Structure 1
Amino acid sequence: MPQKQGLTVADVLALPVLASGRPEVVAGEQNLDRLVRWVHITELTDPASFLKGGELVLTTGVPLPGDASQVRRYVDELADVGAAALVLELVRRFHRAPEPLIRACRARGLPLVTLARDVNFLEVTQVVHTLILGNQTEVLRRTQQIHEAFTTLTLRGAGPEEVVRTAVEMSRRTVVLENLAHQAVICEPAGTDAETALAHWERRSRATPVVDHTEVAGEEGWLTTPVEFQGERWGRVVMVPDTRSFSAEDVTVLERAAMTLTIARLIHSTAWERRAHRTVLHDIAEQRYRSPGEARARAAALGLPVTDASFLAVLVDVPRSAGEVETLLSRTLERTALVGTLTERRVGVLLFLRKGQPWQSTVEQLSRTAREEDAGAVVSVGCEVGDLTHVARSFREAGRVAEAVLPGSDLLFHRLSDIGLRHLLHTLRDDVRVQDYVERQIGRLVEHDARNGTELLPTLRHYLDAAGNKTIAARRGGISRQTMYDRLHALERLLDRDLELGEHRTELHVALLTLDVLRG
């Protein structure tokens, strides 16, 4: 169980005011961690009637009975009332602790301490009481700080990530928020890394009993407390042990964190799991992790298959808000993908695929699902990669594909192999150098048609689309061959280009395609 804060018997014995008496523990050594809540000097034969528990009893031994049975009763009464320890000064009546007293204290586990030298009991009382009162004041101050910190988070409407982070800062221990499926949705490590903290999380979590109140449980000794509201449980908060024992302050931090998380869940409509998926997705896509092992551990802690798997980045761009599409895809791809909004109109998906599993059918279904929610959804696919560390490359490729998709495309999804020249020009349409190129190549032609009502631009388009075949170009334009010849000569004079040269035709063709893209 968590240890309470305060002075222990061992702490008091180490104080100079008692250490000068050369204290020796002759019984009850295993209970020196008992808390001392007060010091009581007594020369009575029945001091227990004046005690309330937790006292360090100081005596010269003068009133101790000589009969062994009475000694046992004396010790039993002290033990029953909960005295912290009995300190016997070996100066006046005794020069060594009586055997009956030692046996009685050992039988009841009551620490018995002898002092070989004279000690000022009044000074001991003053020093210890000052420390106890000072410690109580510090505990109260610290508890108030904890309550104020979490109250501030509640008033600010802080999200669960900030709540867990605050619990870590106050306890200096690793804290994990998990859901009912034993998935670690938020992990803030302290003194370790996320990879170590989350290793085999679900198995370890299931081995730790779920309790109805704050308690140390399981083989690892996790300090856990439930997160719930009006009987509905949502998960639990776990504080992972380190070399220190849990304290009452740790319990306060964990319970206040759980209360604040409950309020945060009621305030924020986004489920913990979706927030967690979104965070891990961002971190993996942008390589914001300390090591590949951490990335795998965080994904595995959310129940995703990371071993013997390949990975594929998918971007879903929607004309309206991405929130509804994210919700729908999260339900559809549960436990097979990370799903999260990347921008207001873009949803990111990271598919976890079994080795050798074709991804096309999954992406097709994903696309249909997205279009059910938003008919204008455009799906772009990156390259399949075999390691989480390469996922960023897959997302970059999907991003390049998304930039190149032409408006009105009816493909279920797009990938890099679908991107041709027109798509490339669409990607570059905002580059002033590309716009300037169009103006230099065919700007005069566009202006000539506008001023004179001619149709030289359509004629050039038919000619270039026909790969320089004048007969086909004339038929497509609905004009005679002679008219085609005349217009081509006019085009060559106006543009100062030789239309028989392949390079000149290519330059003009690119300019025409870019003009179409710019007119969009």
Structure 2
Amino acid sequence: MNDDHPTARALDAGDRDSSAPGHALTIADVLALPVLAAGQPQVVTGVTHLDRPVRWVHITELTDPASFLKGGELVLTTGMPLPDDTTGVRRYVDELAGIGAAALVIELVRRYHRPPDALVHACRARGLPLITLAKDVNFLEVTQVVHALILGNQAEAMRRTQRIHEAFTALTLRGAGTEDVVRAAADMSGRTVVLENMVHQALICEPSGTTLEEALTDWEQRSRATPPGDRTDLRGPEGWLTAPVEYQGERWGRVAMLPAPTDKTFGPEHITVLERTAMALTVARLIHSTPWERIAHRNALRDLVEQRHRSPQDALARLTALGLPTENSRFLAVVVDLPAADTTAQPEIRLSQELRTTGIPALVGELAPARLGALLALGPSHPWRPTVEQLSRAMLDLVPQAVVSVGTEVDDLTDAPRSFHQATRVAEATPPDQPLPQGRSFHELTDVGLRRLLYALRQDTRIQDYTERQLGRLIDHDTRHGTDLLTTLRHYLDAAGNKTSAARRGGLSRETFYQRLRTIERLLGCDFESGEQRTALHVALTALDVLRVR
């Protein structure tokens, strides 16, 4: 588009929708209105400024119209009052540009049939958009239409602002948490909203029109390039809209609204949303005692374990923005199961504190009731066992009945969920008061043998049905007759089929022991000479033991 040509830009009436809710009326919008489009408007200068807002329309045939303007007006003229000399034209334009007029529209019907060169040069020099009309236009009708739109937009803007205030008031009154507030801000603004702490860690991000990866990649670097401020304002090279979150002089962080990919501008409503967001976050922090960082770690871990991120890149960007080193790191999941009656609050704090003493970066949070999780980011040469041992002993000192389990070490963050699932399986396969392996205070995958595997599966009805089919008739016989053949079977299987050793264990004579074995074979319909059948009964006895654990 050539701004130097008098007919540089002909506007189509369908270019812009000036009636769109919340849309500030611009020069382009006004020129696209049928009432002006009928005059065949041509943009002569200032084509790059057609997005300027139009505050009002002013019709003038004065040589000094600027004295009646306040700025933002679209000035309409037939050209009759324009001075004949170049100096006078330049002064006319200088005064309009100086007061901040939005644009000058001149009708080429009465005095002129092409815009004077002096006027074109003066408007171009001052960056004032100059628009010509090739046909006669009813200026009064133009003012009526435009003013109605402007007033209608103002009324609608007031209604939307009122709805924003009402929405945040409702959030505050129902005690909404930090995540609820940030989510509401993103929904109302249609922009990505991020809450960060004082060390530029992105704690909560609600993307809108973008992904977590796009919003949070290199977050700390970008955030540090965006200077802090004491009020809501545009800041930094990316043009973030930011507001501090503070109370009585103590600053806790800031909330940032990021430009949309297709629209880098912010309007008054965006400012209102962000200001109310900062206020609501302050109230939420005062009401809810859980620190922001704990909430952020907890939610990030849950989303990672349950693989709720849209992509591995989103997960990587989110955890990096939280301060977890994701490059050149190895990852290990630690799960801490607590007695059901215990709260996780104090152990969670203790686990975080203990990790800080190790110098190992980690995320810590509650994965489920009575279950804590920690994701450790280990350096290339840092062994994990001493660290986990330290954490385990700290947990056992605080809660002696706690069970600490670990998964396997992984080299890629995308494999971290697998490490958590392994640690969880170990925890679920660990009965209460399970003896700890010698020399360590935590459990790992290699500890899970037959007994612990069956314990983990104890609520599966197939295990229960198998146990009953294998041993039910023997248990029923003992119950009816007051015998203890089940113990005899146990001694026999524990002795690996050695009848002499088994009889000695049971304190029975060999003849009595043999007789009982024959009774058991008859009741169960089995043959003890079959190693497969002895194995099946051994599994059933082990399952019975874990099913009877309380």
Normalising TM by the smaller chain, what interval? 0.7 to 0.9
* Counterpart mapping for 1:242-261 below 5 A: 242-248=261-267, 249-261=269-281
- What is aligned with 1:309? 329
Q: 1:444 to 1:292 in 2, by over 3 A?
A: same
Name whichever of 150-159 and 285-294 sits farther off.
150-159
Opposite residue 415 of structure 1, the aligned amino acid is E
Report deviation, 1:148. Answer: 2.6
1:330 to 322, 331, 352: 352
Report deviation, 1:408. Answer: 1.1
How many residues of Structure 1 are paired with residues of Structure 2 in the alignment? Answer: 510
- What is aligned with 2:421? 396
1:332-374 deviations in whole A, cap 9, x for unaligned? 3356222221221111222222335322112111212222331
Opposite residue 352 of structure 1, the aligned amino acid is A
- Whether 2:262 is the aligned partner of 1:233: answer no
Name whichever of 275-284 and 8-17 sits farther off.
8-17
Q: 1:125 to 1:502 in 2, by over 3 A?
A: closer
- What is aligned with 1:360? 385
Report deviation, 1:122. Answer: 1.0
- Whether 2:163 is the aligned partner of 1:145: answer yes
- What is aligned with 2:135? 117
**Structure 1 unaligned residues grouped into runs of 5+:** none
- Whether 2:262 is the aligned partner of 1:262: answer no
- Partner-residue secondary structure (3-state), 1:243: coil
Q: 1:86 to 1:348 in 2, by over 3 A?
A: same
Alignment partners' CA distance in 1, 2:157 and 2:209: 24
Q: Is the 8 A contact 2:331 2:412 kept in 1?
A: yes
Opposite residue 244 of structure 2, the aligned amino acid is P
Report deviation, 1:495. Answer: 1.6
Opposite residue 451 of structure 1, the aligned amino acid is G
Alignment partners' CA distance in 2, 1:50 and 1:425: 89
Q: Is the 8 A contact 1:174 1:197 kept in 2?
A: yes
Report deviation, 1:316. Answer: 0.8
- Whether 2:369 is the aligned partner of 1:344: answer yes
- What is aligned with 1:294? 314
- Whether 2:449 is the aligned partner of 1:425: answer no
- What is aligned with 1:494? 519
1:192 to 210, 221, 234: 210
Q: Is the 8 A contact 2:500 2:510 kept in 1?
A: no
Q: 1:47 to 1:408 in 2, by over 3 A?
A: same
Opposite residue 340 of structure 1, the aligned amino acid is G
1:127 to 145, 148, 171: 145
Alignment partners' CA distance in 2, 1:221 and 1:261: 22
Q: Is the 8 A contact 2:334 2:407 kept in 1?
A: yes
* Counterpart mapping for 1:448-467 below 5 A: 451=482, 461=490, 464-467=493-496
Alignment partners' CA distance in 2, 1:74 and 1:61: 12
Alignment partners' CA distance in 1, 2:231 and 2:102: 28
Q: TM-score, normalised by structure 1?
A: 0.87
Q: 1:13 to 1:469 in 2, by over 3 A?
A: closer
Q: Is the 8 A contact 2:407 2:444 kept in 1?
A: yes
- Partner-residue secondary structure (3-state), 2:409: strand
Q: 1:17 to 1:310 in 2, by over 3 A?
A: same
Report deviation, 1:221. Answer: 2.1
Q: 1:502 to 1:491 in 2, by over 3 A?
A: farther
Alignment partners' CA distance in 2, 1:121 and 1:468: 110
Alignment partners' CA distance in 2, 1:262 and 1:337: 27
Q: 1:442 to 1:26 in 2, by over 3 A?
A: same
Q: TM-score, normalised by structure 2?
A: 0.82
Opposite residue 84 of structure 1, the aligned amino acid is A
- What is aligned with 1:222? 240
Q: 1:408 to 1:445 in 2, by over 3 A?
A: farther
Report deviation, 1:273. Answer: 1.8
What is the identity percentage for the equivalent residue pairs of Structure 1 and Structure 2?
Answer: 62
Opposite residue 427 of structure 2, the aligned amino acid is A
Alignment partners' CA distance in 2, 1:29 and 1:509: 88
Report deviation, 1:512. Answer: 4.7
Alignment partners' CA distance in 2, 1:183 and 1:172: 23
Alignment partners' CA distance in 2, 1:392 and 1:29: 54
The runs of 4+ residues in structure 1 deviating greater than 6 Å are 497-501
- Partner-residue secondary structure (3-state), 1:203: helix
- Whether 2:387 is the aligned partner of 1:369: answer no
Report deviation, 1:102. Answer: 4.9
Alignment partners' CA distance in 2, 1:514 and 1:125: 88
- Partner-residue secondary structure (3-state), 1:385: coil
Q: Is the 8 A contact 1:315 1:399 kept in 2?
A: yes
Opposite residue 19 of structure 1, the aligned amino acid is A
Q: Is the 8 A contact 2:485 2:520 kept in 1?
A: no
Alignment partners' CA distance in 2, 1:193 and 1:417: 39
**Over aligned residues, Cα RMSD in angstroms?**
3.1
- Partner-residue secondary structure (3-state), 1:211: coil
- Whether 2:436 is the aligned partner of 1:414: answer no
Report deviation, 1:141. Answer: 2.4
Alignment partners' CA distance in 1, 2:411 and 2:104: 68
Q: 1:322 to 1:435 in 2, by over 3 A?
A: farther
**Structure 2 unaligned residues grouped into runs of 5+:** 1-21
Alignment partners' CA distance in 2, 1:278 and 1:115: 63
